[in-house]
Amino acid sequence: MKPKLLRLLAEHLVASQTLPLLVRDLDAHSLDNQLSPDQNEDQVEESLDLLFQNHPEFLTSEDQREVLQLPEYLQGEALLDRLTANTSNEDA
């Protein structure tokens, strides 16, 4: 995953206080991850990098290309939406 997108997603998760919701969602789907609700942006970025190394299908190249077409201020939220949708699809 592109480092810029990792950073944008990490920043969005911390700033919007949605990190605990993502952690709970990943845990509910029994998906191994290093994310913790009390992490700072740098720690979240590292944990996301590991998550996407283990599960590249959570944000496909197509997802990344589409998100990069959006204005930057919308990219973090769009990444989270795609990640949440793709992790939910793991159950299907």
pLDDT digits (tens, 9 = 90+) for 10-68: 999 999 999 999 999 999 989 889 999 999 999 999 999 999 999 999 999 999 999 99
pLDDT at 90 > cutoff 70 = no
Q: How far apart are CA 61 and CA 91, in angstroms?
A: 21
The pLDDT of residue 88 is 84
The pLDDT of residue 32 is 86
Domain boundaries, given as residue ranges, for the chain: 3-89
User: Could you give the C-alpha distances from 16 to 10, 29, 66, 72, in angstroms and in order?
Assistant: 10, 22, 22, 15
Q: What angle do CA 17, 20, 15 make, to 5 degrees?
A: 20
